[in-house]
Each structure stands twice: as C-alpha cells, then as structure tokens.
A and B are shown apart, each in its own frame.
Chain A
Amino acid sequence: MTKRLLNILFLLLPLTLHAQEATVVLKGKVVDSADGYPLIGVAVYVDDSKTGTMTDVDGAYELKIPQRRCEVTFSYMGYDEEIRLYTTKNASAFSRIVMSMNAEQLADVVVTGVYERKKESFTGASATFKTDELKAVGSTNVLQSLKTLDPSFKMMESTQFGSNPNMMPDIEIRGKTSVAGLKEEYGTDPNQPLFILDGFETTLETIMNLNMNRVASVTILKDAASTAIYGSKASNGVVVIETKAPARGRLQLSYKGDFGLSLADLSDYNLMNAREKLEFESLAGVYKDHTGNAFAQIRLDNLYNERLKEIERGVDTYWLSEPVRTGFTHKHNIYAEGGEDKIRYGIGLSYGDVAGVMKDSDRQTLEGNVDLIYRSGKFQFSNKLSINWLDVSNPVVSFAEYAYANPYYRKYNADGGIDRYLYYPEEGIDDYPVANPLWNAHLNNWDKASGFGFTNNFILEWFLSKEFRLRAKFGLTKQDDSEQTRLSPLHTQFDDVGETEKGLYSHTQIDELSYEGDVAATFGKLIAEKHMVNAVGGFNFSSLKRQVYGYSANGFTDDRFDAPSFANGYPSGGSPDYSQSLKRAASFYVNGGYVYDDRYLMDFNYRLDGASMFGTGNRFRNTWSVGTGWNVHKEPFMQNSDFFSLLKIRGSVGNPGNQNFSAYQAFSTYKFNGWMTNVFGTGVILNALGNTQLAWQETVNYDLGTDLTFWGERVNVTLDYFWKHTDPLLAVITTPGSMGVTSVAMNAGSQKTQGWETTFRISPIYRPAEGINWNISFNATSLRSVYANIGDSFSALNESGKTSLAGTTRYYDGGSPTAIWAVRSAGIDPATGKELFIKKDGTYSFTYDVNDEVVVGDTQPKIEGLFGTMLYYKGLSVGCFFRYRWGGQVFNSSLFQKVENIGTQEIYNNQDKRALYDRWSENNREAYFKGISMVQKTEKSSRFVMDDNSVVGESFNLGYEFPDKVARRMGVGAMNLQLTMTDVFRASTVRVERGIDYPFARSMTMSMGITF
C-alpha cells in the first residue's frame, strides 16, 4: 500500500515541476522487424506528457522530451507496442526502433467480421483455421476442408446428386433450426449459415467458387456470444472468411497450382449381370402370358429365347462405364504483391477448370482481383475488387438412366451405330419400348450456364486515437447468370410430339444486385492495467434485388443446328417467366467486452434488426447475447504451475434469429383473373395471402464450454455443451379450406436441440525448434432435436407422408425431426412368405395398418466426427483423416425400391442383385425378403431400416516444403509440393445405392506453390 502511494507521489512530482523542465530532442527512424522497411505514421509519445509526434514517409521522427527519466511509447496499428525507457543518457538507443507485427493478430485472434478479439479473452465458441491447415486436408474449396477440420460444420451428402461439381451443397452448423420442406417453398435453404467474406455478407456460391489460395483464414462462429452481432441472420451460425492482404516489399510474384484426378466410385452399385437379370425376369413372370393366349405365349417364349441366345453369345453389357470418365482438374493462381508502407497493392488472377466424373460435367471459373491499401496519417483506405466469370455444363442424361439399362442389351447395333431403342415392341403388342440412354446422350443436347459478376468492397478507417477508431464500409456486388438448355428434336421425349413442336430450348436469366453499408466506432483501452474495455457500435444496411426472367422455344427440325434462331415458335400456352424480389434490412448494433486482469471475461451484444420480409406488425426485432468466461490459468494459485498454458471456462446465452425467408411472405398480393373478362372489364382476385403478424424465427442458444492447453502446449482440448430452443418456428402450414387458402406461412410450435462437441489434439512428439511434430486429433459431435407445441399444425404433412411410397418423416410433439417412422416388422413368415407386422400394442398381424407406425430409427447418428494424425518432419508432412459415424439408422431405399416393390414398369430396369437372391420361396423359407412378384406392394416397415455406421477415408495427404537452399538453387524464393487424396475409401454397415443421378467421386490432387 505504501509503495503504491509512493508511486503516485512520484508521478505527481514531475507534473508540478513541468514548467521549468529542460527538454531534449530525440531523433530516429522506425522500421519493420520483418523487412526493414520504414513505418510511416507511427505514433511516438511520452506517456505522462502531452508531447507526441508521428513518423514521416521515411519512418523518421523528432520528439521533444523532458530531460529526465521517462518512458517513450511507439504505437502502430497491428504492431506490438514498443516502450523504451529514456534514462537521460541513452538517446543513441532511439536512433533505430524496430517494431514487429502483432503476434496475436496473426495467431490467436477471433475475427468476427465486425470486430476482432483476442482468443484468450473471448467468451464465444468459435474455431479459426489458417490457410495451411485448410490446404493440408484438401484443395477443392474452403468448405470441403472445413468439414474435415470441425465436427460442427456439416456438408450434407446428397445421395441424389453425388459429387456433381455444379450442385451447391446444404450446409449446417450445429444442426437444423428450421422445419424441413421450406427450401422447396422458398428456394433458399433456411438452415444455411451466414457467410462473411472480408467483412461483407456473401453467398454460398461465391465461397464455393473462391480460390483457396487467396484465403488467409476461416473462422466458424457457433454460439450466441459470437454470432449475436449478426442478429437476426445468425441463428444458423456464421462462417467468416478473410482473404490475404498484400504484403509490403519489393514486387513479389507467386504461383500456386493444383492438378487433380478424380474417379467415379461405383462400389455402391450392386446390379445384376445379364444372366441374373433374365433369370429374375423369368421368375417374376415376365415371359408368362396371364391371359392364357397361346400366340402371346409363343411370342414371349421367343423373346426369352432371343435374349438367352444373346447372353450365350456373351452379351453382358456394363452400362455404368458409359457416362463416367476420369476427371482432370487444374487450378492456377498468380498473385503479384508489393508496395511500401503508404501504399500496398496486390493483383491476382485465378483460373480453375474442374472436370467432373461424368462426361459433359464441367465447371470453369476465372477470377481477377485487385487489392489496394493506402495509409495516410490517421486514415487507411482499402479496396478489394474482384471480377469473376463462370462457365458450367451438366450432363443431359442422368446417371440413373444408365443404371436402369438391362445388361442383356447391346450398346451398339451390328453396324456399330446407336439405336434409338434397345427394345421396341412389335406393332399391336401392348408393351413398353425401352429407350437407349446412349441415344439421347449422343445427340446435340446441352445444359449450360454462365455467369459474370464483380464485387467491390471499400473500407475507410480513421484512427482517431490509440483507443478510438471509426470505420465505414461499403460493398457492391453485381452478378448476372444465365442458364440455357437444349433438347434435340431427335430426343425420345419428343417421339409423340408433332413435327413442328419437337425440340426444346429454354433460357433463364438471373440478375442480382446487392449492396451493403456499415458505419462503426471501435473503442479499446486498458485502464489501470487491469481493466480491459472493448466496445463496438454501428449501423448497417443492406439490399438485395433479384430478377429472374426466361422463356422457352420449340420446333427445331435438325439435331445439329441448335441456335434459338432455328426455333419454329413458342410452346403452346407458354408465357414468359418473370419474377422479381427485393429484400432490405437495416440494423443497429453494439458489442461490449470487459476483461478484469485477464482472468474474468464478460461480453455482451445487442442488435436491432429490421427487414422488409417481415410484416409491418413485426418489422423490428431485438437480438441480445451475454457471455462470460474465467481464465483459470491466470489465477494466482495456478501461476506456480506451468502445466496449463490455457484453462478457460466460458458460457453464453443469446437469441439470434433467422431471416432466410422469401421476400414477400408478409404481403397479400392479387392477380388478374386471366381466364375471363366480362362486360364490366377485368377482375382481380387474391393471389397469395400475406401474414403481417408473422414473427421472426428466433433461437435461444445456450453454450457452456472449456478450452484447455497443457503439457507444454502438447495437448489441446475444446469441449462444448449446447442447448438451442427455436421458438416460434416459421412454417408453411396447411389450413382448413374454409380459411380461403390451403396453406399459409405461420408461426407454429418450437424445436429443442441439445448436443455436445469436442476436439482433442495431442502431440506425443513436439519439438518445434527442430521442426518435428507429430499430432493425433480426434473430434466428435452429437446432437438430438425434438419438436414441441406443434400440435396438429403439420397433420397434412404427416398424412401425405403416410400415403407416399417412401416418406418416413413425421411431425409430432416430442418427435425428432430426423426420426424414421414406420410399422415394425417381425420379418417374413417362413410358412406363407408374407410379412408379419407388429402392431402398436405389440401383437402380431399380417395386415399392414399405417396407424401402427412408431419410431424405428433416427438418421441422426449418436456420435460422429473425425480422427486423424499429422506428422511434420522438417519440411515433410504426412497426414490422414477419417470420418466416422455411429449409432444412426437409415431407411434403405435401394432395398425398398430395387429389391422389393419392383412393379410391372420397374421390372424393365436393371435391379439390385439382392432382388434375385435371398427371396422367399418354397425352397428358401428363411429369406429376409418376400418372394419375387411384380404385383405385390411392399409397405414401409422396419425391415428396411438399418444401422448406418461407417468410416470414410476422407483425406490423406503428403506435403514437402523445399529447404531455402534447394529452392534458391532452382531459381525460386520458396517452393512447396503437396499431394492430397479425398474420399479414398468408405466402409459402411449398410449397402445402399449412393449417387443416383450423379456418382460420387474419389479424387487425388497435386498442389504446388512457388514464390519468386
């Protein structure tokens, strides 16, 4: 206590003497530790006096200071503060001041896109990955790599579209918050997280197209404390991506290239060969005439014999090899950067050509970008401009059509040509013709899209003082896309169409213009050495206008001449498509953080959002969050132990919302009764009923977590428990017809989700000084959701699910959104071959009753995640990552539709091998499947629900960083090589056809980076 008093006295003393003090002038130059370049605009001042100055263009400064002991501070944004003691005798020590880039800025900072915070003092749940980590596990795109690194970030695998490079995936962070079915209704995925690129909101497409080599870091914000600053857009989590800023120095040129190979993975297909298929058809009774007509029987016998003869001749066509190819992918990125402290610039050009594993499946991207940073005194201007061009094409004949083709047909006719039909029934025979998939594929059909757009993001920062900063941002994006498809007049689809109406050309144009502006003030100060206060407040506005228009034309006469000018006219009754939507949002936000002595942490956020999509009754909405944390490792009682370098416990709560909904759902709109006018003229009636009282979907989000680093930085653990309550849900509800509409967007019920996630990394060998490090990582996540208070709101969806062929999703209170509903099955009765069902009350019955449905499984696994290992030895690195999934079930639609339920139409398609084997018959009574039949309908039962446990070899990689000496001898500054293999293998307890319209791919990529 006495010491402190003395201190204060000591401080006061010089002040009182200030007037008659002698002064001295310090002279010197401030340079960057990394490259020795002068730093311009560095603040130089003496702490307890009002004297201060700034360095000039050469980094030089002159400062008049009192001739006594004092501390001189050198402060510069983004750099570690440099404080030197002036002892009255060491003026020469001030001639050259070396400042270095803030280490925290580079490593342990959470970038939220609105503000930055030291990871150690942040209370939110987030994960940050650097470019090297992302590149190490894959080179396809940022999101592909992210899913290998973080268990909460999930990219939904599409059984339908496989590895189609032109399909945008569905993405979720910590599960769904919205009812399924809305995507179909509104076109946007209501569970998609928010993407922020360099501080501006952007689209999933932009992120998918972004060349990975431009990325500096990616941060996933998961809980309320970290996402609430984005308010009503944040309930699905936020992905913040920062691109690299140009580095200072002489002009430096770097090249990065990726060269990849991908192969279709057809191992999930288990189709019959020619002999098996014919036997199956024969057993199903295809070659038996049921009317007892002798002539018909002779025809069928002949047909069977013909096919058998073909098989004896060795025909056993493997159709699946036709549409696939080895896809070659190459991507290049050239970046030139340089400049001095005042002006820095970067100019880049990226090109990518991705060839999918199906023929005609291509995606080409070209992107140019110019980054400029200009700094003058207290101002910094930065501008990022990027221009992109896109050209894609898709196969016209889906993969499924090849999977349907029977193996006993030949691909080519005797002349080597392609026939239109594989089988065409004779005149007067009531039978289906079988089209040849190769016929439609060899015609001049196409499905193409192209796009052109630019984004310009401008940021102005004004460093008013050390503590206080103002920032204004404005971003503008224009994107024009067009989609064109053409079907040749010879396409089998037009077989029954008049000569002048064959062929089809359609064109859709999508124009988007969006802008976003933001003004914010940032404050940060350490008060009395123990109280760290941070605050951000600002105003944000954004607008997105989207216009879609298109038309179709038909009446082509020639396969070859495909320009729309050859069309004969428009489809009869067709009218042009047109739609326009305009969404606007405006918000105010405040964020505050307080840290006491680096030990006790507090964060709060508040945001007021307004959006045009919501009704006048509910236009504005509040978002808040509070987070708190405790750095246990900073406590005095831990100071003696070196074991923990980080031990933090944190918790947060908040209510981020979701506004991924359509633009005009709050409006009642009207249309003309186009079909009739009368003597009174035109009439108008209601088109869509709006709901002005529609409330925002809101998710209250709790998170409790801990971050641990111990054993000399060798072990890293993060553990989070979270609990989410979305209330109200926003859904399109089927209403009683008497309300005048059959469905309406309404708030109904709620959804509760709880789960946990963990990442664990240990380095048994950790010798950073020698460049040797071996680590093993493991991460896992688990979550479970239930509906509450939905009552009968979704009864129509439940009813349609019950009657649909394979719908197993139901909406009931207490039910899980991912539960599989079906009637329990006791298997096939050996005596009769009939399926024995278990009724709700546990009794057995041969009759199927849809009301006996219960939950028989859940597609959400009990636990899933990744494990892997990386070894760094000097410049060499080797790693592999495996994805696992355990405790979930799946409704095996392959068994349901390609083994049983093969009707009189499906019998003409090739089927799963299991449709022939393991079927019940007099001789095989213990079979799992019913007897072969074309007429028997199989109902949804638990017999088709299977455990879905799997392990996937998601990413294997090998990298080498050439030593400087070697690189220089090769004439370059630095060089590295990397080899990555993705989806190498997949082992699963269930065998189900994956990649129906487009197969999955296994790929291998070689990447190299050269800096000149």
Chain B
Amino acid sequence: MRRIFAYIAASVLLLTSCDAWLDVKPYDKMSQDELLSDEEGFIKLLNGIYIELNSDMLYGGALSVEMVEIMGGAYVIGTDNTVWGNYSDLASYQYGTEYWRSRFSETWNKAYSLILNCNLLLENLENTRVSFTGDNYKIIKGEALALRAMLHFDMLRLFGPVFLRNADLPAIPYYKEYTIVPNAQMTAREAAQEITKDLLESRILLANDPVRTEGTRLDAPSDGSSTFMYYRNLRLNYYAVTALLARSSLYFGDNKEAYAYSTEVIKAAETIFPFVDRSLVTGSPEDPDRIFSSEVIFALSHTQRNRLFKNYFDPSRIPNYVFRMDNDLMSSKVFGGGSLTGGNQDDYRYRVNWVATGANRYFYKYSDMVETGNIRNTMIPMLRLGEMYLIAAESRSEDIGAGLAYVNRLREKRGVGNLQQLDRQILQYEYIRELYGEGQLFYMYKRMFTPVLFSAVDSRNPQPSDAIFTVPLPDTETENR
C-alpha cells in the first residue's frame, strides 16, 4: 500500500515538474506574465492606451478634426473629387460607400481594441499580487475604467441611435471583461447605464487624485524619477472624469446630474483650471496660446500634433483640400450677427484662431507655438472648461434661458459682451465658437436633433434624421456573430 502511495506521489511530482517545464515563455515577444509582473508594467500598459488614443483612426484625426467634424458640418467640402476625394460622400452622409464603410470599421476596431487593452489591464489588476506604491493602484484602475467608459461612450454617440428619441434601440456591445465570445449588442439605454456606472466607480477610485490638491502638476521632476503622478491634465484625472460625467449625463438626458457635475468642475476650476491669461492670448498676437491650455481639463499628448494642422488646415496646402468654415456662416452667425447670434469679431476665439489668407480665414488652433518642445504644442483637447459652462447653461433648467449667466461668464472671459437672452440657436453658436475642431459638434446636433449647420443659409443645412445621425455598424460586427 505504501508503495502505491509512493508511485502516486512520484507521478504527481513528475506531472507538476512537467507542467513547469512545459510553461514556455516567448523570448521575441513580451508575454503578459512578464510584462505585468511589476507596477511599472501596469503603468506602461496604461500609458500605451493613452498613446494609442492619438491614432489617426481615433482622436489623432477621425474623431477630433477629420471624420466626425465633417459630419458635424464644420467645414466647407467641395465637390471636385480630385481634390476632396471621398469627403463629399461623407458631407452628404453616404455612409454606405466602400471607403467610408472601411474607415468607420477601422475606427470601431481601434476603439474596441483599446477597450480590450483596458479590460486586460483591469482583469490583471484584479488578480495581481504586485504591490503598488501609494495610491497608484486606485489611480491606475480609475483611469482604466474611465478610458473604457469614454471609448464606449464615443462609439455609442457615433454608432448608436439618437438617444433622446430611441434609447431602447440596439446600439453597441459593452465589454467589461476579456472574452473570446462576442458580447451581444445592448440598447442605448443599457449601454448608458454601463458608461455611467464605470465613470462613477472611476470617480470614487480617483478621490485621492493629486489634481484635487496640487493641480495639474506640469512641474514634473527632470531627474528621471517617475512622472506618473504628474501632468494630470494629460490623464483622465478626477475632474476629467467628472466633466465626462457632465457630458454623458447631458447626452443621456439627465440634466440634474449634468448640472451638478458641470458646476462641480466649474467651481474647482477657479484654482485648478483657470481661464486663460488674457496676456497669453491678446498680449502676444505673434504667439498666442491657441488652445487656451490652462482651461483644458483633459488633453491627449501627441508628439506630432502639428500634423493635424499641416494635413487639414494649413492654407499652404492649396490646391489640395483645406478644412475651413463657410465664410457666410462665420461672418453672419458664428463671429458676426450681433446680439441675434452672439457673434463678434472681438472674440478671442476669432482673433487667435482664425487667420486670413486671401479672401478666406483659416483655422489655426492646431498650429504650433513658437517655443519648441512646449508641452502645449502636443495637446489635443478632449475636455475643456468652456464646455462645462455651456453644459451648466443648458442643463440648469428646462428653460434654456435660465443658463444665460453661465454663457455670459464664459463670454466675458472671451472678451465679448453679455447677451441679453439665450436660446438653443445661440447656444449652438456658442458651442461652435468654443469647441470648433474638437470633434464635438456632430454629437451636439445629434443630441438636440436639429439641422447640422454647414451654412448660414438654412435651406442648405441637412435636416435632422435618424439616417444622417446613425452610422451603421461595421460589416465585421454584424457578419461574424
């Protein structure tokens, strides 16, 4: 009997040693176990996700200045195919062409591949034995949750139905864990709940974010020690998550929450995200801070951000296409038109960002400041203080007019006079003035279900419809289930 036990023990031993021997780690690739064996690995993976947000398919192009902004009517799109290529199809909302089908599919795939990275990070964070310094564990987890929510939210805004009309239509799948079985499509309402849940959890985890006490901390140590807890405005910090909640609550029709979150940010911003210093804008006409960097709550850091300007807005691109606003729309509505529109050529946003070349004015928000290596030259704004004022104005009460004070406060900081009254149209112009070229306008029209303002002439602006506001899901999504 003892002998039998000895045999069993020996074979168990042999089997377990076999198992260890069979556990081969790749040398030419980074295996997950190896990467996530220390805190540094988690931090690198999280940073990798932030870096990838700069991809052309996401906020380094398609979702900031290019695709979604064309859909938001920001640019004059010509009809000459040799210059404008496929853009005229998009400006007329022909999502079905082969080119745009594949472009939307690329964006979708890229967003979800980053969601998968978030999920792998979160899952490993859950099961890891690695010990983290200070609050790093909570910060990493909080930021990863917020990234996951933000990407899902933008996919919902792009591919989902018009929320306030059809919240119960199937929209997008929401992935909360790494799986090799495809998740089912959720209704827009269900997805909204998931987004809110993730953001709320993230906000709790980020309660000790140094941004709350020490601000954005752009004074990172230069001695080579960890910069992880610095440059907080380049991360989804506590206020960025709060601002994202304000944005999503408004989109989901929860005005009370939108008002609460936006005003929380506005209050904190007095010290942490102050309005841009007048001298930086008007005092240095040669080299203004065009993105109003101190007001940016969350920005991506793209080392070749000037490509955005060079590839899309630089007037020297002519005879190739250049993105700019319709002249009439600019002169009679957005930056003109007096008290009826709130447009004024004294507006800093006009003086700083719109530079005349020939008969047209061109958009310079993304052109570099003179000082090379300036962190501001890498920033692609994702959330800014101005939007919080507009959200607060819009969500304060059923009556938009009640938000006038918030709009006027913002206008004061932009060097233009008070409005006497506020309506939806004027609010939209204010959104255009504040957020132009940041990829938010399409979602605004979709949320309000109003015509998309390509032009000053109403008859030329596309009427709202589910067809123009809902991008069909990519083929790979519908076919491979």
Contacts and interface: CB of A to CB of B under 8 A. Distances in A.
Most buried by B among A581, A669, A735, A739: A739
A664 B476 contact: no
B30 A734 contact: no
B29 interface: yes
Nearest to A613: B24
Interface in B418-437: none
Contacts of B52: 673, 683, 685
B109 interface: yes
Contact of A670 (B27, B35, B227): B35
B48 A669 contact: no
A573 interface: no
B166 interface: no
B302 A738 contact: no
Given A691-B180, A739-B182, A679 B51 contact: no
A691 B179 CA distance: 9
B31 A667 contact: yes
Given A738-B172, A742-B109, A679 B481 contact: no
B261 interface: no
Contact of A799 (B108, B179, B479): B479
Interface stretch (B111-119, B198-206, B387-395, B398-406): B111-119
B479 A796 contact: yes
Contact of B30 (A669, A735, A741, A796): A669
Contact of A738 (B228, B304, B477): B477
A740 B26 CA distance: 22
B8 interface: no
Interface string A559-583: 0000000000000000000111111
B45 A670 contact: yes
A612 B24 contact: yes
A580 B46 CA distance: 27
Interface string B38-57: 00010111111111101000
A741 B113 contact: yes
Interface in B143-199: 172-173, 175, 178-180, 182-183
Given A677-B303, A680-B47, A683-B48, A741 B28 contact: no
A746 B50 CA distance: 30
Nearest to B230: A679
Main secondary structure of the interface of B (DSSP, over half): helix
A738 B31 contact: no
B270 interface: no
B32 interface: yes
A673 B476 contact: no
Contacts of B26: 580-582, 663-664, 667, 669
Contacts of B116: 686, 689, 739-741
A584 B476 contact: no
Given A664-B29, A678-B234, A679-B375, A792 B51 contact: no
A743 B304 CA distance: 31
- Give the size category of B's interface with A: 35 or more
A681 B45 CA distance: 11
Given A738-B108, A746-B180, A586 B44 contact: no
A734 B476 CA distance: 8
B481 A736 contact: yes
A679 B234 contact: yes
A669 B113 contact: no
A580 B227 contact: no
Contacts of A168: none
Contact of A740 (B30, B115, B479): B115
Contacts of A796: 476, 479-480
A736 B477 contact: yes
Contacts of B369: none
A616 B54 CA distance: 35
A672 B51 CA distance: 10
A586 B45 contact: no
Contacts of A1008: none
B120 interface: yes
A792 B480 contact: yes
B172 A678 contact: no
Given A584-B24, A611-B22, A678-B303, A670 B375 contact: no
Contacts of B31: 667-670
A738 B234 contact: no
Contacts of A616: 23
A679 to B, nearest CB: 6
A5 interface: no
A16 interface: no
B120 A668 contact: yes
Interface in A601-643: 610-612, 616, 619
Contact of B48 (A541, A673, A735, A740): A673
A680 to B, nearest CB: 5
B183 to A, nearest CB: 7
Nearest to B42: A684
B301 interface: yes
A671 B28 CA distance: 10
Contacts of A686: 113, 116-117, 120
Interface in B43-83: 43-52, 54
B47 A744 contact: no
A740 B112 contact: yes
Most buried by A among B35, B48, B49, B478: B48
Interface string B81-122: 000000000000000000000000100110011111101100
A23 interface: no
Contact of B21 (A583, A586, A663, A664): A586
B227 A681 contact: yes
Contact of A679 (B22, B178, B231, B477): B231
B231 A795 contact: no
A679 B479 contact: no
A693 interface: yes
Interface string B1-43: 0000000000000100011011110111111100100000101
Nearest to B303: A676
Contacts of B47: 678, 680-684
Contact of A584 (B22, B179, B231, B301): B22
A619 B19 contact: yes
B24 A684 contact: no
Interface in B446-481: 474, 476-481
A690 to B, nearest CB: 8
Contacts of A746: 180
Nearest to A735: B480
Contacts of B479: 736, 792, 795-796, 799
B30 A679 contact: no
Interface in A700-755: 733-742, 744, 746
B476 A684 contact: no
Contact of A687 (B18, B27, B30, B180): B30
Contact of A580 (B27, B41, B231): B27
Most buried by A among B18, B45, B175, B375: B18
A676 B54 contact: yes
Nearest to A798: B479
A585 interface: yes
A734 B180 CA distance: 11
Contacts of B478: 736
Most buried by A among B22, B45, B476: B22
A50 B182 CA distance: 73
Most buried by B among A670, A678, A688, A736: A736
A700 to B, nearest CB: 25
Contacts of A669: 26, 29-32
A795 B480 contact: yes
Task: List the 3 closest pairs (A to B, CB-CB), nearest first.
Answer: A740-B116, A683-B48, A737-B109
12 contacts: A582-B27, A584-B24, A611-B22, A664-B29, A679-B220, A679-B230, A682-B48, A683-B46, A686-B120, A734-B476, A735-B182, A736-B477
Given A586-B18, A684-B35, 9 more contacts: A583-B24, A668-B31, A670-B30, A671-B29, A676-B302, A677-B303, A682-B44, A685-B52, A799-B479
